[in-house]
Structure 1
Amino acid sequence: MRALADYLFVFALTLWVGALWVVGYLVAPTLFAVIEDRALAGEVAGRLFASVGWMGLACGAYLLLHMAFRQGWEAFRNWVFWLIVLMLVAGLAILFGIQPLMAQLKAQAWPREVMDSALREPFATWHGVSSVLYLLQSLAGLLLLRAPRRVLG
């Protein structure tokens, strides 16, 4: 059973970090390069980012639980634990704070596109904050790729 839990740790970590990088730095830019309607490209990218966010919450929760059960209180002394917490906090901020705020700005701009409205600047600001948090998550994920050796021994 421990081998399965350890395998799932590596799988969850790989899935989360891989999804962050593939969607954020490959799929989303490709959408904007291929789809001429920027609003449509943004809508599709937003849904993909939301999916990655939900998956990240599930993966991050498993990673923390695995560490807590495997290491007990020692998990709190492990930098891997706190890096996962950092990634989860960033993901929660994006998923439950920034994305709903950006959706609200889009709704307020309707029937115009938000980037063609007076709400362009606040939308761009929140998009920038979201991008910085996403980059922070992505870079933290790269550091976590060393985690299996530190956690699993």
Structure 2
Amino acid sequence: MLANTRLLLATLWAGSVWAVSYLAAPSAFAVLDSTQAGNVVGVMLTRSAWLAIALAVLLGLLVARSVDLDARRRRWLYWIVGGMLACSLVVYLGLQPMMAAIRESAGPAGVRASPQWGTFAALHGVSQVLYLAESILGAMLVVKAR
């Protein structure tokens, strides 16, 4: 029962990262103007971060209580969960607020017309790398959680 629950939660977490990062966010930017898309994606990323926190706690508790895991596999799972949570929190608590401040200070002309465009683009690039890392860790989590 615990192994199935671990797998279900791991799949939910990894799937949510994949769905938001590679389906929902690009789709929003494809059909909405950049300001609206940024707002929609910002809400999705906030909800994803809260989901990541909840799932990290639940998975940590399940791993701690799972008698079917040897010490090495348990360590792997803790590291993967911690890595995924770290990626999510760095984006949510660090990069997103900085990007939002740049967007807000840019005014009606938008971020691309702002002198801070380079900084915004760099922060966005770092966030994409972190989501890629979280995606890879999510695949590892699904494989190791069974």
Provide the TM-score with structure 2 as the length reference.
Answer: 0.88
Aligned to 2:22: 25
Map 1:1-153 to 2 at 5 A: 3=1, 5-35=2-32, 37-70=33-66, 74=71, 78-149=75-146
Letter in structure 2 aligned against 1:52:
S
Tell whether the 8 Å contact from 2:63 to 2:74 is kept in structure 1 after alignment. no
Letter in structure 1 aligned against 2:95:
I
Tell whether the 8 Å contact from 1:76 to 1:82 is kept in structure 2 after alignment. no
Q: Root-mean-square deviation (CA), in Å?
A: 2.1
Q: 2:131 and 2:50 mapped to 1: Cα distance?
A: 14
Specify whether residues 103 and 54 from structure 1 end up closer, same or farther in structure 2 by C-alpha distance, changes over 3 A only: same
Relative contact order higher in (CA < 8 Å, ≥ 6 apart): 2
- Segments of structure 1 that go 5 or more residues without pairing to the other structure are none
Q: 2:78 and 2:19 mapped to 1: Cα distance?
A: 24
User: Once the two structures are superposed, what CA deviation does each residue of 1:71-112 show, in whole Å capped at 9, x if it has no partner?
Assistant: 599378621221111111111111111111111111222243
Identical counterparts, % of pairs: 36
Q: 2:95 and 2:112 mapped to 1: Cα distance?
A: 17
Tell whether the 8 Å contact from 2:77 to 2:145 is kept in structure 1 after alignment. no
CA-CA distance at 1:70 after TM superposition:
2.6
